[in-house]
Structure 1
Amino acid sequence: MTTDTPKMRALGVSVYYGSKRAVADVSIDISREHVTAFIGPSGCGKSTFLRSFNRMNDTIAGARVEGRIELDGEDIHSSSMDVVQLRARVGMVFQKPNPFPKSIYENVAYGPRIHGLAAGRTELEEIVERSLKRAGLWEEVKDRLAESGTALSGGQQQRLCIARAVAVDPEVILMDEPASALDPIATARIEELIHELRGRYAIVIVTHNMQQAARVSQRTAFFHLGELVEYGKTSEIFTNPTVPRTKDYITGRYG
């Protein structure tokens, strides 16, 4: 398989809440090589579209998805696709940090344990340590693994949620405004982390912060009113967009 084969692919995807169409006929390829940012004004459908990649919209009453979404060429809505397995392969980090009300250790160990990824306690401890290191949190919490995850600061909680996502060895990580609830220092740490994780996982980030999109991504998709308006290299979208609507948004004419 060549490296430019898309990790995930959306083909003519529309998402409805009841009779309201929130996302209209979007097609996009998600590469494993790049961080892809979804930008656009509030309510433009970017988070709704993101959630369709691991079938999180299945949990919303009245929501339905049309079109095809593939993970390594396989239809994620096919009857052979186990949704629990899908969500292990396509992890998610939410806008508001949501650690389990358990110890720091248990937050990270939970997924590998239920998915049977560790043969015993030693292996589980190795996974926890490795995941916390990948999330840039190990040095801060290694002496307090028995403390509650909810006792951490907001930025640490969000890194704990990233450690929890990577602990099950996902292939894709979806991030829905992962830094919007955080202060600038914690935000910078999350952005550094995205750089460090790039290439190891296919990463998609939804952000309303255009500077953040410019800093962390190599591909940017601009959404407006449920449509994918433009998609391309981040540098080109920000400096030389081809669609007037994109230019108007980037230059701050509306938002």
Structure 2
Amino acid sequence: MTTHDNLDSVDAKITARNVFVYYGDKRAIDDVSIDISAKYVTAFIGPSGCGKSTFLRTLNRMNDTIAGARVEGDIALDGVDIYKSSMDVVQLRARVGMVFQKPNPFPKSIFENVAYGPRIHGLAASKSEMDEIVERSLRRAGLWDEVKDRLADSGTALSGGQQQRLCIARAIAVDPEVILMDEPCSALDPIATARIEELIDELRGNYAIVIVTHSMQQAARVSQRTAFFHLGRMVEYGKTSDIFTNPREERTKDYITGRYG
């Protein structure tokens, strides 16, 4: 595996070392090590079934929900092992939020979708504080002006692109440190996709952001760091500009020039 020089170990938010993931006897991730910076958007690219989403899900223990899945190796958030038995997984998932491929708002009002997490975690002492959190989160997700007059309407009544921004607002309402995005635009039209990409760019620097994407153009547009996965291994990791213009590994070059994938 090639890691380009001078990457982000100094300001790493998440460090993964020698990570293997198994589903029963099947090895889905094979010895991946990476530092994920707090300052940048990191994209995971690679052909379908290469392990990029599986690896993403190890970063907030979403694989815990899959029967027969087990993770080996070390993954640390701010230097603390997230797989140690004393780790509060609910708290971890508040710190490391997740936005899924298909928008999945709760069957509740727009307001309640955003208020749900802060309420569980006791982040608002009063109704006015909760109102503030909801407004701030919707503003950050670029949705406030579109929904401010209908906060009592169901979140599921919004368009697909609006639903995905609502899910991003829901993720940031609990003040996470990391946002994981698993192909957040694959179910959206080009206009909604462009809006989500703008949003990712606006959020960069406030959160460590990791995005899994099938679209190399999207990775090139939104990320500053890119990891290329193939057959469960991370083949190459570096600055996005280097990965796309000057990849060191033949397999990376083949994928980026469209020879396979």
CA distance in 2, matches of 1:33, 1:89: 16
CA distance in 1, matches of 2:211, 2:30: 19
Which residue of structure 2 lines up, in the alignment, with residue 16 of structure 1?
Answer: 22
Alignment of 1:59-208 (within 5 A): 59-208=65-214
Give secondary structure in 2 for the equivalent of 1:54: coil
Give secondary structure in 2 for the equivalent of 1:131: helix
CA distance in 2, matches of 1:75, 1:3: 16
- CA contact under 8 A between 2:9 and 2:35: conserved in structure 1? no
Tell me the amino acid that sits aligned with residue 194 of structure 2: A
Give secondary structure in 1 for the equivalent of 2:34: strand
CA distance in 1, matches of 2:249, 2:228: 10
Relative to the length of structure 2, the TM-score reads 0.96
Give secondary structure in 1 for the equivalent of 2:112: helix
Runs (4+) off by over 4 Å: none
Tell me the amino acid that sits aligned with residue 181 of structure 2: M
- Of the three residues 231, 244, 250, the one matched with 2:237 is 231
Tell me the amino acid that sits aligned with residue 38 of structure 1: F
Q: Deviations over 1:190-222 (max 9, x none)?
A: 000000000000000000100000000000000
CA distance in 2, matches of 1:221, 1:54: 18
CA distance in 2, matches of 1:187, 1:5: 29
Which residue of structure 2 lines up, in the alignment, with residue 29 of structure 1?
Answer: 35
What stretches of structure 2 of length at least 5 have no aligned partner? 1-7
CA distance in 1, matches of 2:179, 2:29: 21
Which residue of structure 2 lines up, in the alignment, with residue 216 of structure 1?
Answer: 222
Shift of 1:31: 0.3
CA distance in 2, matches of 1:117, 1:67: 33
Change (3 A) 1:3 1:139: farther
Which residue of structure 2 lines up, in the alignment, with residue 57 of structure 1?
Answer: 63
CA distance in 2, matches of 1:9, 1:193: 25
Percent identity (aligned)? 83
Relative to the length of structure 1, the TM-score reads 0.99
Shift of 1:3: 9.4
CA distance in 2, matches of 1:195, 1:77: 30
CA distance in 1, matches of 2:121, 2:29: 32
| Alignment RMSD (CA, Å) | 1.0
Which residue of structure 2 lines up, in the alignment, with residue 248 of structure 1?
Answer: 254
Tell me the amino acid that sits aligned with residue 62 of structure 2: M
Tell me the amino acid that sits aligned with residue 95 of structure 1: Q
Shift of 1:81: 1.1
Q: Deviations over 1:17-54 (max 9, x none)?
A: 00000000000000001000000000000000000000
Give secondary structure in 1 for the equivalent of 2:12: coil
